Amino acid sequence: MMLSCEALLRRLRWLTAFVIVGLVFSGLTAIPLPTEVKWLVGLMGGSSNDQASAPIGHWLSKVQGGLDAAAVNWPFLFYGTDWLAFGHLAIALAFVGAWRDPVRNRWLYTFGLITSALVIPWALAFGAARGIPLWWRAIDCSFGILAFLPLWYCRRWARELDRESGCAAGPGGETV
């Protein structure tokens, strides 16, 4: 069943907005990292002294200890997470172009697919080099997979819009 141009464009924009919101959310959560980890430790019942606690709780307690030490002794290290947040926000801003005109800017979907796929080897390699548990690296890899799926549909639908004559979105976002 072939969707109308308007319906296809609406779906494409909805998924593009999902990607944008995901990037913004993931970027903004990189800034208050010590507070978030402290909250997660409380939620997971972690304790650095209790080896019997769940592996995630124990790991989060260890992370919290490292963040607390960094906050006291080397607060400038958090500047790296500030730039991580900025990078996510900048990429989200780029996807606004794909939201406005998905046919002309469909290359952004390909870019997103490539970077999403690269999350997996990046997390596995650097996670291993930094001593991150494999199960935590799997969580990190899931973000690449979670982004890949909507981007794949977006690229597919943008190509479909391009193939349909008179179906492309104009610069103002309207269907022409």
Residue 123 binned pLDDT confidence (cut-offs 50, 70, 90): very high
Q: Can you tell me the mean pLDDT for 52-77?
A: 89
At 135 the pLDDT is 93
Return d(Cα 41, Cα 50) in angstroms, integer: 12
At 46 the pLDDT is 64
If one counts every other C-beta atom within 10 angstroms of the C-beta of residue 63, the result is: 20
pLDDT higher than threshold 80 for residue 50: no
At 176 the pLDDT is 43
Among the residue ranges 3-17, 50-64, 96-110, 114-128, the one predicted with the least confidence is 50-64
Location of structure tokens 């319906």: 7
pLDDT higher than threshold 80 for residue 12: yes
* Domain edges within the chain: 5-30+79-163
At 38 the pLDDT is 92
Return d(Cα 4, Cα 18) in angstroms, integer: 21
Return d(Cα 84, Cα 31) in angstroms, integer: 8
